[in-house]
Amino acid sequence: MQQSTPKVDHDVLSSCDAGQLELCAVETLSSMDPKALADPTIIDSSTAARPQATTGAPASEPAANPYSSPGGKWSRLQSYSTIQRTWDIWSFAISFAVRLWWSGKKLAYRRTGMTPEAVSAKKTELACWVREGLVRLGPTFIKIGQQFSTRGDVLSREFVQELEKLQDNVPAFDSATAVTMLEEELGRPVGAAYASFSRTPLAAASLGQVHYATLAGGEPVVVKIQRPGLKRLFDIDLKNIRVLAQWLQRLDPKTDGAARDWVAIYDECSRILYEEIDYTKEGASADLFRANFAGVDWVKVPRIKWDLTTERVLTMEYAPGVKINNTVELDRLGLDRQLLATRAVEAYLQQILRHGFFHADPHPGNIAVDGQGRLIYYDFGMMGSIPGDVRGGLLELFYGVYEKDADRCLTALTAMGVLVPTGDMTAVRRTADFFLRSFSDRLTNQKEPQRRTKEEKRMKRKEILSSIGEDLLLAAADKPFRFPATFTFVVRSFTVLDGIGKTLAPGFDISKIAAPYARDLLLEGRPLLAKASQDFRGRLALQNRAVVNLFRAPNLVQDSADLLQRLERGELKLRVRALEAERALDRVARMQTATLYALLASALVQVGSAATRQLLAQAAFGGAGVAGMFAILSLAKVRSLQKKESLYTGSG
């Protein structure tokens, strides 16, 4: 006999963010009537084959779900052709390219003027359109959008902020499909696997949905079931995205100093996406994460039920908790918010600096707190690994920031592969020193920037650029920075944790926890004798340099006198003039390229007009179009360089 379905809070379901499916399910369970929770919809082998209506309505009617929103054509996988999918992807990409091009034109700002505020508003508007488009395109693009929300080195602030809002507002698939998938994956009837199984999903997202169930002994569990046809959809989408990445690799001007490798970024995204749809890997990651924190009693990880887990089905312990940024509920439970903020940061520091295996998406939707004040981690589909040499570099970096030691920071960045030494590191070193001092001042006066007016902020920005503008331009020209995906996940995670900390405890300073922790690990990793030996060698080297400098003192005095004379004659302006000439030559070279393409396009148009054969005319006009496009791109690069120079040098 079919029993009543538990009453589900659909308002909770409709607000589930992408990537927090487990916590959303837990919150939904917590909001349910205890009587309904104790009496879920029972499905045995007979009812699984023939799903019955619970209250007279058909069992499988996804359109009746009040929390379902249009999932786009991708949700109709059985009738969705590869050609149609490819068309949808490329029409979105081309439309975005046109909108992006238009947002950089003065004509787009004819009413407001091309002020920094108007440009930022236009970028935000475009970013909002992109976010909505990604949701319409479905799981692959939602997940890629989530990953790019961690790439502040690739996207502007406006795009990062919008992509952080990505939500999985997609329809749940029907209960009959869920039951069929469970039986296919587990190789047995649902009634034989679970004592009870609720056909109403607790939460739905782009990759799957979560159901409530109980085991034979009465233990409550949650069951995550993957959306049907997901692997096929990923295969189609990622083939198209790789082509897009190859085009971006050719067209990206890279005028901001970051040597982006779009194909490498695609490879990293692709790897993570395929790992996220293999639930056995997620389960293994959860087990490893739990083992790493075996001696920490304030960290909890739900246990995986391996006999009920496959690549497309994940069954895990029901671990209730309160979202870590729900301050009202935390206060009601009488928990110490300052302690929770400290523990969240310490747990993450242990992950990256001790274990080398970290949760790559520690946003509030994936961290909860139970009544005992323990941190509960969910969703282990996106994890990162850090090699030993990179962990050592991070330790040095944290301590270098703490000591405001620019050289130590640059050495650490070089060890991690983020910074590639160039012939002249002076500009990079001065820039690092400037930002370290600015960072220290900002921590000392955290509320001061919030009190400034827009005009004061603009003047402060101008002052900063006048101080280091030339250094930034030189660093951008050398392109010394590389941004490994793992490192950007680490930076993004610390940003999220800093936000969580400030929500829990106003005035929270993540550096006061991170730097001493890094210092202790540095000392812990170096035995006392080795540390003393290293200190002695450092002091000995310093003494040796002092002795050498003693004998070189007369030469140094003469060199100083020569330097002063050159300053008086103005000869030291030569370096600045060389940089200006270098940039001018770069602009001339790009203008020449644009001119050549324009001449080629003009010549091909004339050939096409004079051609007597239709095929030759079509080929000539097609070539003229391609040459014209490259001419426009070259001019756009020149304009981008001019804008950047004007911004950094204050010449415009």
Catalytic residues: 361
- Residue 224's DSSP bridge partners are 210, 314
SS3 (DSSP) at 6: coil
Two tokens, residue 51: 């799903």
CA–CA separation, 337 vs 507, rounded Å? 12
Instruction: Tell me the CA distances in angstroms from 327 to 11, 18, 322, 379, one per residue in order.
Output: 20, 22, 9, 22
DSSP state of 350: I
CA–CA separation, 203 vs 170, rounded Å? 10
Cβ burial, residue 598 (10 Å; 0-12/13-18/19+): middle
CA–CA separation, 201 vs 51, rounded Å? 15
CA contacts within 13 A on the Cβ side of 268: 21
Q: What is the dihedral of CA 431, 435, 437, 441, to 10 degrees?
A: 150
Two tokens, residue 186: 């587990």
DSSP state of 351: I
Which residues lie below 8 Å from residue 327, measured CB to CB, with a gap of 6+? 337, 503, 504
In 277-405, alpha helices (H): 279-292, 327-332, 337-349, 388-403
Two tokens, residue 29: 């369970």
Tally Cβ neighbours within 10 Å of residue 429: 16
CA–CA separation, 465 vs 640, rounded Å? 17
Residues 123-133: b if buried by 16+ CB within 10 A, e if exposed: bbebbeebbeb
Two tokens, residue 435: 């930002």
Residues 295-310: b if buried by 16+ CB within 10 A, e if exposed: eeebbbbbebbeebbb
CA–CA separation, 289 vs 483, rounded Å? 25
Cα 618 → chain centroid: 44
CA–CA separation, 39 vs 429, rounded Å? 66
Instruction: Tell me the CA distances in angstroms from 377 to 194, 297, 300, 349, one per residue in order.
Output: 24, 13, 7, 15
Instruction: Tell me the CA distances in angstroms from 492 to 295, 414, 429, 499, 566, one per residue in order.
Output: 27, 20, 24, 11, 47
Closest by CA to 253, choosing from 565, 526, 640, 601, is: 640
